């Protein structure tokens, strides 16, 4: 199969038929063998009914329905797991991503050998205050932190080599950082393509200003995970050991000094009256807790690495 199109959605019943017809037209005109995977992330409207109707008429249409709303990252992860195409393309269901970009995205992966191509909505039709300016600040921080020179990390229109989507696991709200996750897995040929952005035709956006706050928090998380996610003991164990040794050394010094003064008959304060005693005690306790945190983190990674973070209610055509 040439292409899998993965489309996460939430309450987009009005746009699904038009979106699929547009994708099908592009695929047929380029003679692609394809599948379109709709992931209904707990919609409360008739989105699933539309997907069922589309799948009954077209074998290329496949559907996954979540038990409840888990989030875009979990929807993309489920689509990645089911996708069978040599090239996997993600796009949003609101018609703001242009399916006409698909052939060129496919060629960049198959013919030019890119692992991943991220779309760049250079000209946007969003609100300047609530979306454009915060988005620029967010992307600047993401570039600085990740080392990837991409202009639009949050663009839903991306293309992936099949090996990439099978290697990365998208959790929490990490869908913005799939290029960073791919880089962390060793896929270094990551490019960018200017794509056409279209004004929303139906419904309203599902994301508010809080997504930028969450985005920055996720950026901190993924920066940490990229360095220590697979070996938490390397950070927690290191600092735990340093703090414990500092505390023990301080306690040993305080005790030794007290014994020396007693032996020499020098009047001295009680150990418990010395503020350094409490600093040493606190350092030892914190060091022990940090070390245990690293140890527990290692155990969690070993036992939970393959656990799914969503429940599928039903599937179509799988």
pLDDT in tens, 228-284: 766 788 888 889 999 999 999 999 999 898 888 888 888 888 888 888 889 999 999
% of the chain at pLDDT higher than 70: 86
Residue 208 pLDDT > 60: no
Q: Between the CA of residue 275 and those of 12, 21, 231, 283, 302, what are the distances in Å? A: 63, 74, 35, 13, 41
* Token pair listed for 145: 């932190």
pLDDT interval class at 285 (50, 70, 90): very high
pLDDT at 305 (0 to 100) = 56
Is residue 112 within 8 A of residue 28, CB to CB? The reply is no
pLDDT digits (tens, 9 = 90+) for 289-314: 999 988 887 777 666 655 666 788 88
pLDDT at 225 (0 to 100) = 66
pLDDT digits (tens, 9 = 90+) for 114-148: 999 999 988 766 555 556 676 777 788 788 878 89
Handedness of CA 165, 170, 176, 178 (dihedral sign): negative
Q: What element of type H or E holds 34?
A: strand 34-40
pTM of the model: 0.75
Q: Where are the beta strands (DSSP E) in 186-264?
A: 190-194
Residue 224 pLDDT > 60: yes
Residue 214 pLDDT > 70: no
pLDDT at 160 (0 to 100) = 97
pLDDT at 203 (0 to 100) = 66
pLDDT at 4 (0 to 100) = 98
Is residue 305 within 8 A of residue 244, CB to CB? The reply is no
Q: Say how far apart CA 148 and CA 190 lie, in whole Å.
A: 8
The set of residues, in sequence order, having a beta carbon less than 8 Å from that of 104 and lying 6+ positions away, is: 193
């Amino acid at each position: 199969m040439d292409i899998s199109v993965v489309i996460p959605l939430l309450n987009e019943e009005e746009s699904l038929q038009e979106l699929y017809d547009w994708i099908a037209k592009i695929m047929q005109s380029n003679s692609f063998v394809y599948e379109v995977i709709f992931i209904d992330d707990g919609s409360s409207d008739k989105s699933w009914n539309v997907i069922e109707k589309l799948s009954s008429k077209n074998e290329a249409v496949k559907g996954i329905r979540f038990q409840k709303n888990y989030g875009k990252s979990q929807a993309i992860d489920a689509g990645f797991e089911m996708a069978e195409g040599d090239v996997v393309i993600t796009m949003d269901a609101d018609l703001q991503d242009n399916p006409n970009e698909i052939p060129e995205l496919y060629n960049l992966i198959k013919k030019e050998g890119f692992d991943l191509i991220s779309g760049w909505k250079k000209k946007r039709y969003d609100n300047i205050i609530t979306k454009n300016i915060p988005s620029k600040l967010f992307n600047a921080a993401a570039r600085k932190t990740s080392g990837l020179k991409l202009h639009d990390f949050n663009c839903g229109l991306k293309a992936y080599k099949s090996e990439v989507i099978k290697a990365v696991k998208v959790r929490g709200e990490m869908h913005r950082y799939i290029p960073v996750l791919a880089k962390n897995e060793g896929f270094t040929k990551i490019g960018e393509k200017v794509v056409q952005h279209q004004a929303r035709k139906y419904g309203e956006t599902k994301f508010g200003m809080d997504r930028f706050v969450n985005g920055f928090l996720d950026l901190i998380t993924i920066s940490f995970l990229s360095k220590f996610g697979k070996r938490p003991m390397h950070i927690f164990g290191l600092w735990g050991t340093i703090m414990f040794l500092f505390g023990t050394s301080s306690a040993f010094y305080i005790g030794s000094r007290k014994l020396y003064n007693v032996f020499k008959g020098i009047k001295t304060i009680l150990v418990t009256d010395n503020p350094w005693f409490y600093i040493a005690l606190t350092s030892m306790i914190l060091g022990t807790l940090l070390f245990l945190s690293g140890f527990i983190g290692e155990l969690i990674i070993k036992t939970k690495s393959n656990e799914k973070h969503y429940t599928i209610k039903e599937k179509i055509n799988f």
